[in-house]
Amino acid sequence: MCGLIGLLSHRGEATAHNDAVLAAMECMHHRGPDEVGTQGTDDLVFGFNRLSIIDISHSHQPLRWGPPEAPERYTLVFNGEIYNYIELREQLVAEFGAEFATEGDGEPIVVGFHHWGPEVVKHLRGMFGIAIWDTVERRLFVARDFFGIKPMYVAEGPDATIIGSEKKSVAELAGIAGVDQSIDTRALQHYVTLQYVPEDETLNKGIRRLESGTYAFFRPGEKGEFVRYFHPSFEVSPQLANNTGEPAYRRITNALEDSVAKHMRADVTVGSFLSGGIDSTVIAALARRHNEKLMTFTTGFERQGYSEIDVAAESAAAIGVEHVVKVVSPEEFAAAIPEIIWYLDEPVADPALVPLYFVAREARKHVKVVLSGEGADELFGGYTIYKEPLSLAPFEKVPGSLRPYLGKLSAKLPEGMRGKSLLHRGSQRLEDRYYGNARSFSEAQVESVLRDYRPEWGHQDVTAPIYRLSEGWDPVARMQHLDLFTWLRGDILVKADKITMANSLELRVPFLDKEVFDVARTLPHTEKISHGTTKYALRRAIADIVPPHVLERRKLGFPVPTRHWLAGPELHDWARGIIAESQTDELVDKQAVLAMLDEHRKGTSDHSRRIWTMLCFMIWHGIFVEKRINPNIERKDYPVRL
């Protein structure tokens, strides 16, 4: 887990920018405070910030490697962890007689690249952002992991191509590359609609993200060539339609046990986050088998109904782990937001990232790595909204030509009338009504707050290409597939990576393992949404692993009382001040946002998610565009218990 930066010059002047690369690395010191390294040629300069986890005394980066005839042909920088690196080394030795100078997980990547080329990524089991410079071919290979756990930004300009783990570091070098950094109003509209900026976009026109499951080649003076190598599929073939019952549950258990075992590989202490739900609990319970002194960490608020502290403590006692709790006050919550948004690079309007920041900070006082339960909902069907196709099944019998009339009928019904919402949703195709878990702004509300609103930039601008890939699948599988490309990598994994790395803490997600996915993707929808619950097969598979009190609990995660705080003394005046001081008038109708805040305070409408979305953007704009808000970033020094 580290931070990398690369400057590929189109004019053969890369080494002239070595000091600029060093300065850009300072922006992501938090990603790798243990070591700093640079290396360059006239074509390319690499910079690397290391967080040492495996082979701590060696495996320094940038890492030079080559075959006997060209011993320094390749240079590797790599952010992430390869959990099957031991098996991969053994395979490379057996097949090619490969020799290794380190015991780390980086060297097998570059050795594998030499023998397999870009197909090396398909051999990797882990999370990664990889960059390899080939001095013979004079080309830069860049790759990102299957699900998008680790970030990778790309800026292609007329003078240079910049790659990096953090957008702010890439932006530091954008002037050298000749990249346009003005605000992308299309990406802004997508953000307001979805509450995150979808891949491959960022809020700056010239900086993009390498998409999950994708690799690319860049050569001096040429545009990049992008290839998607991972095509996640939930389509259940006829021979797998009966993949139910005890054999299927055993496959899930085996896959999870193996994944957690490999995710525990480290030369430093590994802990685990623990909320009140089954996802983090099963990960912690399995991790406990590999570390009897496992520590778990949770967070919450003093307000009743917005804390899982008691349930998490009960779970910790049941599985026999040492447990640490952090309670977050409203004052701490508000004070930390500018710093958190600076670390995020982009606004993500998910209040849960604030308690995540505090629990990560607390965990880093004790450990250097934590496991967490992200990805279980997308793989095994855990979101309540996935039940919607069951309730709307009768509408599937209505001819498509008649559905618009149902929509018109629902529009005539009084607000709040029972059945109005069901009728409206039943009148729509899945592609029209579902665009992920962040569903707070209607199109009319988006139009009311943005100056440059375009109807063609609605949610279907993002989701339509994804839906085309799942035609013919059952509705639940299509919703899961959509969330893999939108909600998971746009919200869940962004906050998981950026907020833990803000505290120099490595977060590992055993559910998002390609072997676990290969099991989950074969489950029919009856093993996901069934018997009145979600994640049915997963619940059955782990029934003997997690304590009974969490097995059937409703998912909460780290709930945040923003609805109450924005209407009360805790955050209302703070929010009004953010809106009033923001210099976003050319982009946002601030009066419309203030009207939402007033309605929310009066209790006539719950605008909390919409208000939060706009506040996060305004704070981002104040930090990165106006340069008016100072997030007061300080270097942190954490003791580590080995």
Whether the CB-CB separation of 406 and 395 falls below 8 Å is answered with yes
Q: Count Cβ neighbours within 10 Å for each residue of 376-407 and write b for 16 or more, e otherwise.
A: bbbbbbbbeebbbbeebeebeeeeeeeeeebe
- As a CATH number, domain 238-382+493-551 is 3.40.50.620
Q: Count Cβ neighbours within 10 Å for each residue of 486-499 and write b for 16 or more, e otherwise.
A: bbbbbbbbbbbbbb
DSSP designation for 526 = G
pLDDT classification of 57: cutoffs 50, 70, 90: confident
Which ranges constitute the DSSP H helices of 364-402?
Answer: 376-380, 388-391
Q: Is the pLDDT of residue 556 over 80?
A: no
Q: For residue 358, what pLDDT is reported? A: 96
Q: Is the pLDDT of residue 614 over 80?
A: yes
Q: What is the mean pLDDT of residues 432-448?
A: 88
Q: What is the mean pLDDT of residues 356-366?
A: 96
DSSP run (H or E) holding 126: strand 126-134
Q: For residue 400, what pLDDT is reported? A: 73
The phi, psi pair for 362, rounded to 5°, reads -70, -45
256 vs 438 pLDDT, higher one: 256
User: Where in the chain are all domains bearing CATH 3.60.20.10?
Assistant: 2-228
Mean pLDDT for the chain?
Answer: 93
Q: What token pair was written down for 37?
A: 């390294």
- As a CATH number, domain 2-228 is 3.60.20.10
pLDDT tens profile 573-605? 999 999 999 999 999 999 999 999 999 999 999
pLDDT tens profile 394-419? 777 777 777 776 777 777 777 667 77
Q: Is the pLDDT of residue 96 over 60?
A: yes
- Relative to beta strand 295-300, strand 270-273 is parallel
pLDDT tens profile 236-283? 755 555 667 788 899 999 999 999 999 999 999 999 999 989 999 999
DSSP run (H or E) holding 443: helix 443-449
Q: Is the pLDDT of residue 107 over 70?
A: yes
Whether the CB-CB separation of 588 and 611 falls below 8 Å is answered with no
pLDDT tens profile 416-431? 677 777 887 878 889 9
Q: For residue 638, what pLDDT is reported? A: 67
- Per the DSSP assignment, residues forming a β-bridge with 508 are 371
Q: Which sequence positions are flagged as catalytic? A: 2
Single-letter amino acid, residue 315: S
Q: For residue 296, what pLDDT is reported? A: 97
Whether the CB-CB separation of 195 and 491 falls below 8 Å is answered with yes
Binding residue per annotation — 372?
yes
Other CB atoms within 10 A of residue 599 CB: 15
Please name which of 307, 14, 314, 315 lies closest in space to residue 138, comparing C-alpha atoms: 14
Q: How far apart are CA 468 and CA 433, in angstroms?
A: 15
User: How much helix, strand and coil, in percent to the nearest 5, is found in the chain?
Assistant: 45, 15, 40
57 vs 288 pLDDT, higher one: 288
Q: For residue 634, what pLDDT is reported? A: 86
pLDDT classification of 639: cutoffs 50, 70, 90: low
Q: For residue 555, what pLDDT is reported? A: 61
User: Where in the chain are all domains bearing CATH 3.40.50.620?
Assistant: 238-382+493-551
Q: How far apart are CA 558 and CA 274, in angstroms?
A: 10
pLDDT tens profile 186-225? 999 999 999 999 999 999 999 999 999 999 999 999 999 9
Q: How far apart are CA 282 and CA 440, in angstroms?
A: 31
Whether the predicted model's global pTM rises above the 0.85 cut? yes
| Torsion-angle region of 277 (φ positive above 0: left; ψ -120 to 50: alpha; else: beta) | beta
Whether the CB-CB separation of 436 and 400 falls below 8 Å is answered with no
Q: How far apart are CA 426 and CA 394, in angstroms?
A: 8
Q: For residue 622, what pLDDT is reported? A: 98
Q: How far apart are CA 375 and CA 249, in angstroms?
A: 18
pLDDT tens profile 450-462? 999 999 999 999 9
Whether the CB-CB separation of 166 and 27 falls below 8 Å is answered with yes
Q: Is the pLDDT of residue 295 over 80?
A: yes
Q: For residue 91, what pLDDT is reported? A: 98
Binding residue per annotation — 474?
no
Binding residue per annotation — 9?
no
Name every residue whose Cβ is closer than 8 Å to that of residue 494 and which is 6 or more positions away in sequence: 151, 196, 344, 346, 348
Q: How far apart are CA 115 and CA 290, in angstroms?
A: 34
Compute the chain's Rg from CA coordinates: 24
Start-to-end Cα distance in the chain: 17
Lookup result for tokens 């779970």: 315
Which ranges constitute the DSSP H helices of 502-571?
Answer: 514-520, 536-541, 548-551, 562-567
Other CB atoms within 10 A of residue 317 CB: 11
Q: How far apart are CA 92 and CA 114, in angstroms?
A: 11
The phi, psi pair for 469, rounded to 5°, reads -75, -15
Q: Is the pLDDT of residue 117 over 80?
A: yes
Q: For residue 242, what pLDDT is reported? A: 62
Query: How much of the chain exceeds pLDDT 70, in percent?
Result: 96
Q: How far apart are CA 485 and CA 492, in angstroms?
A: 11
Q: 119-123, 177-181, 245-249, 312-316: which range is least confident on average?
A: 245-249
Whether the CB-CB separation of 3 and 166 falls below 8 Å is answered with yes
